[in-house]
Each structure stands twice: as C-alpha cells, then as structure tokens.
Chain A
Amino acid sequence: MGASVGTSPHSPLPDDWQPSATLERLRQRARLLARVRTFFSDRGVLEVETPSLSASAASDPQLHSLGVEEPLFGAGRYYLQTSPESAMKRLLAAGSGPIYQLGRAFRGGECGTWHNPEFTLLEWYRPGWDEHRLASEVLELITTLTGVRHSATRDYRQLFRRRTGLDAQNAPLPALREAASAIESALGAESDRSTLLDFLFTTRVVPLLSRCRGTVLVHGFPTAQALQATLAEDVDGVPVARRFEVYLGGIELANGYAELRDVTEQRRRFEADLTERRRLGLPEPPLCERQLAALAAGLPEVSGVAVGIDRLVALALGERAIAPVMAFGINRA
C-alpha cells in the first residue's frame, strides 16, 4: 500500500511487460484447447503427460535440442524435448492403447512469424490405424476447431512433378540442383537431396497450396524425407514414405506417419542422422536407447501425428502469425 507505481529508483522498467496476445484471444485459445480435450475424450483417447526433460535428444540434424544442466546427477545433461515422440512410443509399446498429449515442445533457433522456440504441440497415436485413417481424423479435428473444410488430397510426387517437372523420388541429383539453382544459385550448388526437395517444395509447391481455401492433405513423401515413417511402394512400384502433412493457407499444421516399428531400421536411421550431424559439425546428442528397447520389445502397428497448436489457434482466429495467440512470445519471455 502506498508504494508508488512504476517508479523504481534502480533501473528503468521495461515497456514490453504486456502480453503478446489480447486477453480476448487468450480466452478464445482456452476454449479451443478445451475443445481439443473434448474431441479426444469423446473418442476414448487417453491424455498423457511425458517428460519435457530427457536424457536423450532427437537425432534429426534439422532439429536443435536445447540442453539443460541438472545438478542432481553430477554433471548430468538433460534435453528439452523437440517432440514427445520417443516417450509416447514407449507408452504404446507398454500397451497404452490410443494416447494424446497436449504439451510444450522446444526447438532451438526456430523463430519467426510461424515459429517460436517454445511452442504447444498436440501429438497423438492410433494403434491399429493406417496413416490415411489418422489423416482423416486430423482433418476432422481441424474442421471442429476452425470450421474450415477439407478441400484437396494430393500426392507429393504428383504435386512436385507438376510444379518442377521432376520426379521427387527418382530425379538425379544434378537435375534437382539445376532446378534449385534456377531459383537461387548458391542453394542449388552444394545441397543434398533432402535439402533440395525442401527448397523446391517450399518455393514451388507451398505457394500453390496457399491458394486453397480449405485444408490440403499431402501424402506419399519421397523416401529421403521418411524421418520415422515406414516405407512402402506406391501403385507404380516406386518406394514411398508413409508420411503425410496437412496445410491450411499455405501453413503446415500437421505431420504424421505410419510409424516405423523395425528396431534395426530405426537404429540405422538414427546412426545415419548422427553421421550427418558429424559431417555438418553439429553436436551429437545421446540417442534414445530406451525408444529402441521399446521397439525391440514390440510396438503395435500404429500411426501418429503432431499438430502445431499455436498455428492452428492462430488460423482458427484469423491471425497471420502465432504471437497474437501466445501469452508471451519469445521476445517477451
């Protein structure tokens, strides 16, 4: 009582203490999160919470895990999780049945209109479902939250061929480099296949997707972009990753897989990631041996997906950035 307001004698007070979002947006966000929980409880999917801090980290060279010192265990280094994937797969192997998680994920260095290093990720798994059935459920959830309907389902290879004239799975590296160089000479010169695909998809295909009013489901990814998806052959006998993505307004909202269950293949991909990290001079964090042990013990056939909740809330409320739907973006955190 009686203390003067905002006149610290020590240092000028920062003027950015206020939230990034309006209070009205935060109320709307809370209602949308409640609807997510209802969506899953109505369907008998169990809500779980797995650790944000883990002794292992994602191997993917494109993901930067943030490390944390934990004094309890000597000089133990823990990592803020880039997604709850490993832990949730361990629950699935333990017989959890269908599960979902609505929690925080952390990805270092990712900051921009549609990125924040700390963000809210919705991830769920459906044992016994293939990726197409799961993709339909993703579209249903998006319609429930945003009112936006599904407008198209597209095959990655066909989209890519239409926009670049090249076969994403089989085109020789020099042809991909030439196509990328025509847009940005330096990028075409030394990039690997996956980077070239990312670049051409981002610059040539995504602008096309952004013209659709509804959601666009893209499936059948090239095997260079399989990540943790199983491989299969498409109708032409061409190898393909059983992975899908959902776009709305040109923004990627969901990324899902028919999950890889083969422990030998999973270890091979982890090791390949570490080799790539070494080549790029990136840190090589400890692999999740417990996830491998869970696969060895037996993962049911399962499809899983991750949805960026900040983006979904932003698009549902007509925003064109995530900061206006976050209490505090990283620059105010």
Chain B
Amino acid sequence: MVNHSTNEFRPGLKLLLDGDPCSIVENEFVKPGKGQAFNRVRLRNLCNGRIWERTFKSGESLPAADVLEREMSYLYSDTQGWHFMDDSSYEQYCAGEQAVAEVRQWLSGQDRCMVMLWNGEPLSVRAPNFVELEVTQTEPGLRGDTAAGGVKPAELSTGAVVRVPLFIEIGDRLRVDTRTGAYQGRVGKG
C-alpha cells in the first residue's frame, strides 16, 4: 500500500483516515518553539462530505486512498441503484443512494457525469455543470407579463423544482446550473 508522509501533504491529496477516504483541503505546518512539529490538516471526508480538522506529527505517514475520478454516462436507475458506464472501457458501475444524493434530481439519460471511484466502487457523482430538462408541472404562463420579472416554481422531468420566469410553460426545455439550481434560460419551447 502507498503511504504519504506529511511533507507530501497538499490540497487535493487523497488519504485513508479512520477507514474513510478523504481529500486534503488545507495543510498547515506548525511548530512551537524548538518543539515537536505538527501538520494541522483540514480534510473532506469523501463518503459524507464532512470537513475534518486533524493534527498529525510531522513526518508521520497516512495510507493513500485509491480514489480516482472518471467521466461516465448516466444510463438508468432501478431498484439496485444508479447505473453509469465508463465511456472509454464500457465498464458499468452501480452507484448507491448516498453517492448520488446531491445530484440525483438532475440525472437524466446520457448525461456525462464525473464519477469518483474508491477501490473501484462509486463514491460520489458530480453532475454536468449544466443540464437541459423538460418542465412537467408549473402554473399556467402569464403571457405579456414578462416585464414584471416575477418567478414561479416549475417541476422538471427528473423531479427537481426550480424557480423560473412566469412565461415558462409545461413542455418547455430549460437549461439549469446544477451547482446552484438556478434557471439559465429556455432552450426549447413545448
């Protein structure tokens, strides 16, 4: 197993800590007087997204986490989970509920996602920054009132609810920023 010493610590390095894969967010070298040197490290637990503040004696090593990110196409979901395919190897992976918790409301067929694998299993999924989805439910449009700048909720085909301008109608295709959930524009009329 590969180990990383504290002097290799830098943001983005993936380590195994207390059994969970983590990514270093910040690494600070601290040394009191002529005393023991420490590394004060902020890490993101890649299983649950939580931030950890930990301290290690300088010179200590932690095992590397076998974590890598691959671009994959979203295929479908079923009772087993959410299925993705690696575009280069055609290998298929099934992600569990926790891995897709933050992105499932944006996933529709063939979306290109970044899937983080830990020991070959999907750990988390990043949706494309922008997706195009169809409106399945919203209050009737108020034509001619676009200047007022009002907004209303609209439900999309994946179940996500976004705030949209009043003129949007059922069947319209919208472009949405998945990082903020913000409406970007109408790309097709229903």
Contact = CB atoms under 8 A, between A and B. Distances in A.
Interface string B21-58: 00000001111111111100000000000000011111
A109 B7 contact: yes
Contacts of A206: 32
Contact of A110 (B28, B29, B36, B56): B29
B35 A62 contact: yes
A186 B6 CA distance: 15
B28 A225 contact: no
Nearest to B58: A109
A62 B58 CA distance: 10
A111 B33 CA distance: 14
A90 B63 CA distance: 47
A203 B37 contact: no
A191 B37 CA distance: 13
Interface string A179-201: 00001101100010011011101
B58 A187 contact: no
A198 B38 CA distance: 9
A198 B55 contact: no
Given A110-B29, A113-B28, A115-B31, A198 B36 contact: yes
Interface in A199-214: 199, 201-203, 206
A173 interface: no
B37 A62 contact: yes
Residue with the greatest number of chain A CB neighbours at <10 A, chosen from B31, B34, B38, B57: B34
A199 B33 contact: no
A195 B57 CA distance: 9
A223 B129 CA distance: 58
A242 to B, nearest CB: 14
Contacts of B35: 62, 194-195, 197-198, 225
B160 to A, nearest CB: 41
Interface string A28-55: 0000000000000000000000000000
Interface bin, chain B: 10 to 19
A113 B40 CA distance: 12
A142 to B, nearest CB: 17
B55 A199 contact: yes
B29 A112 contact: yes
B54 A184 contact: yes
A195 B34 CA distance: 11
A225 B34 CA distance: 9
Contacts of A201: 32
Nearest to B7: A109
Contact of A187 (B7, B29, B33, B55): B55
B33 A245 contact: yes
Contacts of B32: 198, 201-202, 206, 252
B186 to A, nearest CB: 43
Nearest to B54: A184
A312 B76 CA distance: 60
Contacts of B29: 110-115
Contacts of A232: none
Given A62-B36, A194-B36, A195-B36, A202 B58 contact: no
Interface string A145-158: 00000000000000
A184 B55 contact: yes
Nearest to A183: B55
A304 to B, nearest CB: 13
A75 to B, nearest CB: 28
Contacts of B38: 198-199, 202
3 tightest A-B contacts by CB?
A: A112-B29, A198-B35, A198-B36
30 contacts: A60-B34, A62-B34, A109-B37, A109-B59, A110-B29, A111-B29, A112-B28, A112-B30, A114-B30, A115-B29, A183-B55, A187-B55, A191-B57, A194-B35, A194-B36, A195-B36, A195-B57, A198-B35, A199-B38, A202-B30, A202-B32, A202-B38, A202-B55, A203-B55, A225-B33, A227-B34, A245-B33, A252-B32, A252-B33, A255-B33
